[in-house]
Each structure stands twice: as C-alpha cells, then as structure tokens.
A and B are shown apart, each in its own frame.
Chain A
C-alpha cells in the first residue's frame, strides 16, 4: 500500500511541477531587470532562425523590484481596473448564487413538461462562442440601455447557463431517499431546498462559484465589446500588446492578476473539502 502511495506521490509531484512551471517562470521573470528581459526575449520577436535563442533565467540575473514599482505605484489606472474587476465579478457570483442555484435545483429534482427540451436548449445556448452572438447581444443591451454600463456585463453573465449545468449534476446526485424522508416529515419544497439541497449540493455550488470566478476574472471579449468607457475596464484588459520593451510590466501585471484566483482556490478548497466531508458523513 505504502509503496503504491509513494509512487503515486512521485508521479503527482512531477506532474504538479510541470503544471506550475509557467507560473514560476512568470513569477521569476517579474523580478528580472527590464533590459535583461529584452535581451533574453528579443529573439522571439524576430522571425527567421537565429543563432541566438531566447533565454529565461530561473533565478533572475539582476533581481529588481522596479517593474513592480512601476505598476503598483506609477500606474493609477491599474488599481482602478483592479477594483473594476472586483465590481464585476462579485455581483456576478452573487447573482448566480441567487438565481442559478434554484434553477439547477428545479431542473434536477422536479419533472415537468418540457423539462428535457428546456435543458437541452440551455446546453445549446452554452455552446455559442462570443463572436457569433456579439452583435445580437449588442442589440439587446442597447435596447435596455445597458451599453457601456457595468450591469450590461453583469446581467448576461449572471444568467449564464453554465453554472446551472454544473450545479444540476450535483443536485441530481442527492439520494432520493433523503428527500422523501424530509417530505414525509412535513418539510415543504422550499425547506427541502434550503436545508437539504444546498448543503448536500455544496460541492457543486462551490465548484460552480470557483469556476465562475475564474471565468469572469479573466473575461476579455465582453468588456472589450460592450464597455466603451475605459474607466470601467476590468484588469483583464490591462495588458498591452506584447512588445519586448514592456515585458517587465507585462509579467508583473500577470502576477498580480493571478493572485486573487489563487487565493480563491486556497479558500474555496477548504470549503469544497468541508462540503464533501459533510455529504460523506451523511452516509
């Protein structure tokens, strides 16, 4: 047992390192001196087979905080965009919690006419890439006078059928016996939803929230298309086009942008664990 355990651990460690490596590269690069970066990465910006290949130092040759200073202290727009991201993502998640959770519950536990057709419709709607629906979305938002406002991004995102989809599965997995027992005890539907559904489906809800956070934190197309006012732009739109001279700022902003999602993982994981444990205990 232990041997197998050890092997599994080793494999996992190797894979994990592989997966984290780009992050470590970004992290180390953000501390690198800008001119060193230019020198290292210049071959990437010229086409043709060059003698001189690009380099990336695991530990910076000339560690410096200069790029950080430039971004954190000299760029006020960075912070504005940071808060814009927050102001978009948190209302979206709240809204999803309130609206999509009952929605998923309804699809999962109740049978009514047309349910399957509707759910299938939900799936089809999920598949449309943004390019296609952009113009149509534009018209709808225009009609409701939501263009160039935060709500114009928040509202469509709240109703995203993706989170319904994820939570559906988890609600469906709750054993019928438990529900029936509750019904016999006289609980009404709403209480069942609140007292049983939500706790037991917690892993699903948590997953949907975490994944939702990631999606909307890095959301690019919608703000670009529907937010004209640069003062409303979220952080994901901050990064300028890749040019050798700005790689320092680029890397730093990358590091900063990915800190909140990382935190969410760490926090969310604990909750995920708790939820899974809770449903395990019930058994």
Chain B
C-alpha cells in the first residue's frame, strides 16, 4: 500500500509541475487567443469625401475649425480664380458656400497669401497672411475680423530675430477660445500674444514649429529629442515632457476635446489624454491612407461628433480629404489578412497595400520585412526563416523576390502561376513584354517583374559609337588618356558596375564558368583600371562629368526622377545623352520588384488582386523611385514630367562646386523613355560569384599574377558554390 501511495504522490507532483509549467505558457497563449476569439468590435473607417477631392479642379487650401466644432474647408479653383467653402457641422452633409466678403477683401489688400485662418470662442476670425517682404524681413501680418465683418490689422509687438532676412517669419497660428494668439515663429519658437498684439511670453525655444493648444497647455514637438514639451499657457513654464519613441519625424499634432491631444504619423493617430503620457492608438495607420507612401498628410482635425478629417496631397498637387468615423459594427481587425514578405523595406508594396485596403476594407495587408535594422539577423538567417515557413506549408501569401535566389523558388514549385493576370493586361498590350517575360517559362509566369532598372552611361553624343560594347569602350579608354571615362577607383567598383552588362555571358547553361568570356572581361577591366586617372569615387560621379573632369558618368537608373544630379550635370554641360552601358551583352535591364504568390496560400484570389494592383496604372504611376514602370501607360505618363516644373534643386558637391536646376524636361525624359522601350536582356548578377571574382582577381589587378591564374583561382573557388 505504501509503495502505491508513494508512487501516486510522485506522479501527482510531476503532474503539478507540468501543469504549472504549461499554465505559464498557455496563459500567454490565452491572452492572445482572447483577443482573436472575442472578435473585438469597432474601429474607425476611412471614407473619402467626394466633394472635397480636387477632381473638380479645386485644391484644398485651408482647414479651419470653429470652436463649436464646425469645420470649414476652403477649396481654391485655379481656373476660375475662386475660393469656395465647404462647411460641415456633423461630418455628413457639406454645405457649399461662397467665401465671406472679408476673405475677398483681405486677399485683395495687397500681395497677400493666406497662411492660416482660425476662430476664437466669440466668432472672431483671425487671419494670418504672408507677404513677400524680403526687404523688411517681416513676412507676416495678422488680421482680426469681427462678426460684423469689420477688418482690423492687429498691431503685433513682433519679437524680431537677429537674422536680417528672416526677422519675423510665422509658420503657424492658433487662436484659443479666449482670443489669445499662439504663433510659431521661425528661429524663435512659440510666442503668446493677446488679440490686440501685446506680447505675453514665449514657450521654450524649439526649432520645430509644430505645436497644438489644448485647454490650458501648449504641446510643442521637440524634433531633436523626439518628445513633446508641455507648457502651461499662463505661466509659460514647461510642466512636463512626453516621449515619442517609436514615431517618425513626419508627425503632426492637433488638439482634441477635454484637453486631450492627437498625434498623427504614418503609423496612425494616437491620443494622449490631458495630463497623460501614454499614447493610445485609436486609428491604425496601416488600415488607412496614412500608410501610403505617395500621399502626404496634413490638416488633421476633429469634428463635432468625434470624427476625424485628414487632408492628403500627392506629388501632382491632387488633394483629397478623408473622414474617419467610428463604426461599432466593424471588427477591430479586418477578417482577412494578407501577408507579403520582402527582404528589405519596399514602398511600392506599401502603396499597393494601401490601395488594396481602400478597395477591400475587410482585408488587412501585413508587410513582413526580413531585414529590418541591424540586429544579429543576417540575410541567410532571414532567408532560412522564410524557407522554414514555406517548407512547413505555411508562409506568406506573397513574396517579393528581390535579393532572393529566384530560380530556386521557381524550381521547387513554391510559386503559383500568374499567367491569368499577365494575360489580362497583355490582351491590350499594356505591359512592356521584355521585362514581363523575364521569368516566363512555357507560357507560365511564376514570377512577374513589375519594375526595372537600367544601367546607363551619360556622355556626349559624339562618343556614341564608342559605347557600343566592351571592346569599343576599352578602345575609347585607351585612346582618351587625358581624362578617365568615368570615376572609379577600385577594381571591385569597376567589376560591379560592369557586372550588370556582362554577367550573363559568364555562366554557361551547364552552370559552369565560361572561362573565355570571363578572361576577356578581366583583361578589359585591367585596361580600364590602368587608365583610371587620378579621380576617386569621392570626387562624385556626376559632378566630375559636369565639370568636365571625365568623359561621362555612370548610373543605374531607377525611374524618371532618380537621376536628378545627372540631369543637372547635363544642364551644366549643355549637352550629353544617356546610352546603354556598354558590356558583353546589349540592351540590358535589371528586373526589380519581382513578385510571386505562394502556392500554399489560402488567399490566392486576394493575392492575385494585389499583384494585379501592382501592375495597375495607379500604383505604377506613383512617384516611388524604385524602378521604371512596366505598365506602358505609366511609362508614357512619367515621361510627361507633370509636376516637375515646381521642383528646384541646389546640390553641393565635393569642394566648392554645386549644381542647380530643375527636374528633367520633357525632351530629356523622352530620350530616357526611348531607352526603356529598347530593353531586351535581363541581368541578375549573382552576388556570391561577383564577390568571388573580385576577391580572387585582386592580385591580377595589382599585377602580381596573370589573368589565367586569376581565372583558375576563380574557377576553383566557385566550383564549390556552383556544385552545391
């Protein structure tokens, strides 16, 4: 009996310990389960407000919120030179009306531009205007308009800065209910005035003009230390700080009810209650347009019923306003989740995700980045993680294969066939077939390359014949010994640059190194290396060409707006054209943004919609410079250079030089566009092999061994890699 009893006791002890151990673990599991199974309800749903989009020609100019919660949105119609107001009290109906007389009066008083309009609690309107008054250095005036439409200019006790050209420059103004003015002045900080212009005090001295006022406190963003300084409005003393770790620098502040404030950045809208320090995320940016890279957000305000308005603008100056209203019947997290995997951060994916979510509010796109920051995760580790998931039958729904060994994934049948998507587009010939067919196999498309890069050399037209191939190029370098053709200093640099246009020749079908071609290549490289001249990479590629220190310059073009400096160099030289980089193969392009769908995905239909969106006009036209679009409409559109007129650059180079100018003109864009149509041969240099080649040819470039020896070494070293 005793024995049995002891046995039982022992077993009980074991079980107890096991249970407590598992309880530890499953307690954690329970927490997460609860969140999912209880199906938490309610979230803010984004809705685009039709009347406020700029499709009717009216650009959003200002947002002004009255103290009773009414929101006035001013739209400016360039064609008619008119401004109209859309006013709403509840966020549902928008009343369109003409501007009040004071508006017209003020704008006609002089060369005035209205920067900000705000109200106090008694219906007085305050208008901050900007006047180009460079001589006096005082750029602003503030007007007060009483309810009976009387306008007076407030005689402000300006506190001038010491900078002559920028004595008084006001970036923002907020009016409290009591009629006190809070203005942010450049190079000074946030200043406090009465409605008669009397100076009352200053709040700290931050270099960032973003601030908001809520109840009796001013919240100012300290951009250097990523925190908010909170000041008491009466005493001007700082009372506390709120840390903003984890948010991006492009955030905006706005005020809320009951002394709370809101912080908006790409990850969403956060609320901080009065006297609080905790950021409560109330709107998840990833489910809204906040996460779309091509959109710039501003003008966040809260309406009377707790709804939010955010104004968006894109590169082409299109504006829109979205309303965010809390819907209790929507599940907090959308029911369907689509995972997209990418090794490195990619803005096109984010753009497409935003578009997809807009169209399908019940889908959430989760972009998983393999290499995110400098932890101990190496590229190999990240790939192993991905592969582990795939082999286990799980894994992401979509994979962006840039940086991965695409062939392996295709060979193992991991990826689904996307030919229906391709055929849909190709029916009307809307895609650049050379690029689309990069990974086509027997009519099947396991991977679609949705963008591409081009290796280009910029040089004068007269040298075009020398740029035909590697031989002619080497001849050119040998002849023109007064200047290098472009800047390079290490053999490694040279090899990498030319690898794009030569690599396909180096590997035979049988996965062996083609000794002959590689030998020729190395010999040519050596000639080029010996003629490199005295310039180094730090002399700036395009700069060197601009100031005539080289015959040309090299760049890997990734879109119509990716070659700013080269364009400025063209301006400076008043000449020069882009040509395909010479090499052993002609008309090379580098496929980019290569997307594939996991065969095992349970959401193949939505995944296919995602891919289709990646090829659509909207996403391909978006100004994300990660490659030229394969969508022909977008390719044409990009060459029109719309919106380019407004951009102006002044870029400093090594030494005292600098280049200035705008973005490429339509003519120049056309030339690049022509090249895009000519691309034919894909090239994806194998990193490992390139490293082996560079490493083992060092001695050859230093003149210590012959080229045959170098090739032997390379073959030896790469045998292992290729035989695996």
Contact = CB atoms under 8 A, between A and B. Distances in A.
A224 B378 CA distance: 11
A142 B385 contact: no
A91 B389 contact: no
A191 B7 CA distance: 9
Interface string B15-34: 00110011011101100000
A145 B29 contact: yes
Contacts of B389: 138
A190 B391 contact: no
Contact of A190 (B7, B22, B377, B392): B7
Q: Which of B10, B376, B384 has the most CB of A within 10 A?
A: B376
B376 A150 contact: no
A190 B6 contact: yes
Contacts of B377: 224
A134 B384 contact: yes
A91 B378 contact: no
Contacts of A145: 29
A134 B386 CA distance: 12
Given A48-B698, A225-B385, A237 B376 contact: yes
Nearest to B22: A151
A125 interface: no
B3 interface: yes
Interface residues of B, number: 32
Contacts of B384: 134, 225
Interface stretch (A7-15, A25-33, A238-246, A264-272): A238-246
B403 to A, nearest CB: 16
A92 to B, nearest CB: 10
A123 interface: no
A224 B381 contact: yes
B26 A240 contact: no
B393 interface: yes
A145 B30 CA distance: 12
A9 B464 CA distance: 80
Contacts, number: 75
Contact of A239 (B2, B6, B376, B385): B376
A48 B699 CA distance: 10
Contact of B376 (A99, A189, A240): A240
A277 B223 CA distance: 65
A102 to B, nearest CB: 8
B428 to A, nearest CB: 42
Interface in A164-200: 188-191
B388 interface: yes
Q: Is the interface of A mostly helix, strand, loop or mixed?
A: helix
B376 A94 contact: no
B68 interface: no
A213 to B, nearest CB: 17
A41 interface: no
Contact of A150 (B17, B25, B375, B392): B25
Given A151-B22, A241-B378, A190 B3 contact: yes
Interface string B165-194: 000000000000000000000000000000
A251 to B, nearest CB: 15
A188 B2 contact: yes
Contact of A98 (B2, B17, B374): B17
Contacts of A160: none
A261 interface: no
A127 to B, nearest CB: 21
B434 interface: no
B507 interface: no
B281 interface: no
Contact of B25 (A99, A149, A239): A149
A225 B385 CA distance: 6
B29 to A, nearest CB: 6
A241 B381 contact: no
- How many residues of A sit at the interface, in one of the four size bands? 20 to 34
A191 B381 CA distance: 49
Contact of A135 (B3, B22, B392): B392
Nearest to B24: A91
Contacts of B698: 48
Contacts of A48: 698
B618 interface: no
A134 B384 CA distance: 9
Interface in A73-94: 91, 94
Interface in A189-242: 189-191, 224-225, 228, 230, 237-241
Contacts of A230: 375
A202 B3 CA distance: 24
B388 A151 contact: no
Interface string A28-57: 000000000000000000011000000000
Contacts of A94: 17, 21
A65 interface: no
B490 to A, nearest CB: 11
B395 to A, nearest CB: 11
A48 B491 CA distance: 14
Contacts of B374: 240-241, 243, 246
A76 to B, nearest CB: 9
Contacts of A188: 2-3, 6-7
B375 A237 contact: yes
B24 to A, nearest CB: 7
Contact of A151 (B25, B375, B376, B391): B25
B376 A138 contact: no
Nearest to A230: B375
Contacts of B7: 188, 190
A149 B695 contact: no
B394 interface: yes
B14 interface: yes
A154 interface: yes
A135 B21 contact: no
Nearest to B390: A135
A139 B392 contact: yes
Contact of B388 (A47, A146, A225, A241): A225
A60 interface: no
Nearest to B368: A228
Given A138-B389, A145-B29, A238 B376 contact: yes
Contacts of B3: 188-190
Contacts of B376: 224, 237-241
A133 B146 CA distance: 78
B388 to A, nearest CB: 5
B388 A138 contact: yes
B392 A142 contact: yes
Nearest to A91: B21
A100 B29 CA distance: 26
A246 B374 CA distance: 11
A106 interface: no
A151 B392 contact: no
Nearest to B3: A188
Interface in B262-315: none
A102 B281 CA distance: 51
Interface in B698-715: 698
Contacts of A239: 376
Nearest to A246: B374
Contacts of B378: 241
Contacts of B388: 134-135, 138, 225
Contacts of A241: 374, 376, 378
Interface in B23-49: 24-26, 28-29
27 contacts: A47-B695, A48-B698, A91-B21, A94-B17, A94-B21, A95-B21, A99-B14, A135-B392, A138-B389, A138-B391, A138-B392, A139-B393, A142-B392, A142-B394, A146-B25, A149-B28, A150-B28, A151-B29, A188-B2, A188-B6, A190-B3, A224-B381, A237-B375, A237-B376, A238-B375, A240-B374, A246-B374
Interface of B: 2-3, 6-7, 10, 14, 17-18, 21-22, 24-26, 28-29, 374-378, 381, 384-385, 387-389, 391-394, 695, 698
Please name the 3 residue pairs, one residue from A and one from B, whose CB atoms are nearest each other, closest first: A151-B25, A188-B3, A138-B392
